[in-house]
Amino acid sequence: MSIKVSIYEDNDPLRKSLSHLIMGTESMEFYGAWPDCSSILENCSDQTPEVIIMDIDMPGITGIEATAMVKARFPEVNVLIFTVFEDRDKVFNALCAGATGYLLKKANAVQIIEAIIELQKGGSPMTGEIARMVMQFFSKTSAPLVNDYALSAREMDILKCIVKGNSYKMIADSCCISEGTVRTHINNIYKKLHVNSKSEAVIKAMKERLV
């Protein structure tokens, strides 16, 4: 099955380059490219993509605002932030809005395609710089908080795998369970943590020192 991909990028040459990349990739289906997010909900209603490549700094609705809008209406859509910004606040605002991955625009074509595939498989791709920023932000000396969310031992194991960015298949192999069981556990984790996405679960787990 082809991965359905949409693009939101206000830089014309880059938007065209990304469009050609997606159209030229056999395992992907191009769902359209737009210079702003003014009609993003309508676009997703007409043709719901599986992955959105999203710039942050766009006229009108920002990529972070658009990400929150899409995740509220279409929670199954994966949003890959694709930007020049390495600003810590923008990184975390994007992840808190529901972005599932974060790549800097210096990523090459192979890295972009691999990130899209990883997203579709349940992973959370990030460039090394962003991953280090995430880890450094939460690397505090404070003692871990008590697990007040009633997470079982198995759910804690899976949460640790989620924080590492493992895909459903990787988690299933690691825990010797089926991918269906992994999905069930992850849904239960979301409910107990009061979150709606992997990125929110990762941020909460790291911020509250749960893993």
Residues 106 and 13 in one domain: yes
Residues 17 and 118 in one domain: yes
Check residue 37 and give its pLDDT.
95
104, 55 Cβ separation under 8 angstroms: no
Residues 90 and 7 in one domain: yes
Check residue 83 and give its pLDDT.
87
Residues 127 and 155 in one domain: no
Of 136, 151, 173, the one marking the end of a domain is 136
Check residue 141 and give its pLDDT.
44
Residues 132 and 155 in one domain: no
105, 83 Cβ separation under 8 angstroms: yes
Helix (H/G/I), strand (E/B), else coil: 29? strand
Of 136, 161, 184, the one marking the end of a domain is 136
Check residue 135 and give its pLDDT.
65
* pLDDT by 10s per residue, the chain, length 211: 799 999 999 999 999 999 999 999 999 999 999 999 999 999 999 999 999 999 999 989 999 999 999 988 998 899 999 988 777 778 888 888 888 888 888 889 999 999 999 888 888 788 777 777 766 665 554 455 556 788 999 999 999 888 777 788 889 998 999 989 999 999 999 999 988 777 778 777 877 778 7
Residue 189's domain is classified under what CATH number? 1.10.10.10
Of 136, 159, 183, the one marking the end of a domain is 136
Residues 70 and 117 in one domain: yes
Q: Residue 8's beta-bridge partner residues?
A: 34, 54
User: Which of 144, 40, 121, 57 is closest to 94 using CA atoms?
Assistant: 57
Residues 34 and 58 in one domain: yes
Residues 60 and 153 in one domain: no
| Furthest CA-CA distance within the chain | 50
Residues 34 and 54 in one domain: yes
Quote the domain boundaries for residue 14: 3-136
Residues 132 and 196 in one domain: no
Residues 114 and 189 in one domain: no
- Report how many domains make up the chain: 2
CA distance 189 to 157: 11
Q: DSSP assignment of 70-110, as one string?
A: HHHH-TT-EEEEEES---HHHHHHHHHHT--EEEETT--HH
Residues 132 and 162 in one domain: no
